[in-house]
């Protein structure tokens, strides 16, 4: 019997894949657990519609991420930090602080875990951090650390 998988099934296949299984396996295991549906004209049509919607949604999300990447490129976030002798920082600026500042100043919500460059910023000057906004779309966040009182 040919079935379309509605979810990933271990050792059988991935979601939306069309496979051939025995009638008993389909009727006794896959159908009662809503893991698959039988291949019919209607089920194939529904599958194609869902795949088309996913492709459209992916294209829309990627376009939004690219627009946000362009917007991020023109932004510089400045932090005034306390320094000791020879310009060494007391502490460091974390990626969480950078994400919070982006949200507070520009209403751009970026998850701190999406930063490609890991680690706190602990030196004065300009830093360019990469942020993965969507699959394959990397935006640059420009951060400037300057001495307090200057």
| CATH C-level class of 2-60 | alpha beta
- Give Cα 3 distance to the centre of its chain: 31
Q: Where are the domain boundaries for CATH 3.10.430.100 in the chain?
A: 65-147
84 has a pLDDT exceeding 90: no
149 has a pLDDT exceeding 80: no
Please indicate whether residue 74 or residue 38 has the higher confidence score (pLDDT): 38
For residue 40 the two structure tokens come to 């019919």
pLDDT (mean) for 26-51: 95
What pLDDT sits at residue 116?
92
What pLDDT sits at residue 118?
75
What pLDDT sits at residue 143?
93
What pLDDT sits at residue 150?
61
CATH number of 65-147: 3.10.430.100
- pTM of the full predicted structure? 0.73
From the list 25, 142, 8, 18, the residue with the least C-alpha distance to 79 is: 142
What pLDDT sits at residue 68?
93
Q: Where are the domain boundaries for CATH 3.40.5.10 in the chain?
A: 2-60
Ramachandran assignment for 125, one of left (phi > 0), alpha (psi -120 to 50 degrees), beta (any other): left
25 has a pLDDT exceeding 90: yes
86 has a pLDDT exceeding 80: no
pLDDT (mean) for 100-112: 92
3 has a pLDDT exceeding 80: yes
What pLDDT sits at residue 148?
83
């Amino acid at each position: 019997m040919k079935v379309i998988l509605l979810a990933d099934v271990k050792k059988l296949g991935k979601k939306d894949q069309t496979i051939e299984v025995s009638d008993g396996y389909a009727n006794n295991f896959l159908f009662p657990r809503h893991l698959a549906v039988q291949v019919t004209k209607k089920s194939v049509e529904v599958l194609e519609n869902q795949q088309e919607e996913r492709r459209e949604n992916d294209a829309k999300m990627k376009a939004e991420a690219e627009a946000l990447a362009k917007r991020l490129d023109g932004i510089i976030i400045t932090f005034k930090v306390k320094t000791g002798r020879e310009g060494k920082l007391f502490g460091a600026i974390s990626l969480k602080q950078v994400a919070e500042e982006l949200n507070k100043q520009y209403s751009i919500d970026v998850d701190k875990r999406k930063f490609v460059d890991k680690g706190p910023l602990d030196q004065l000057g300009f830093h360019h951090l990469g942020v993965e906004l969507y699959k394959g779309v990397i935006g640059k966040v420009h951060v400037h650390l300057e001495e307090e009182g200057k």
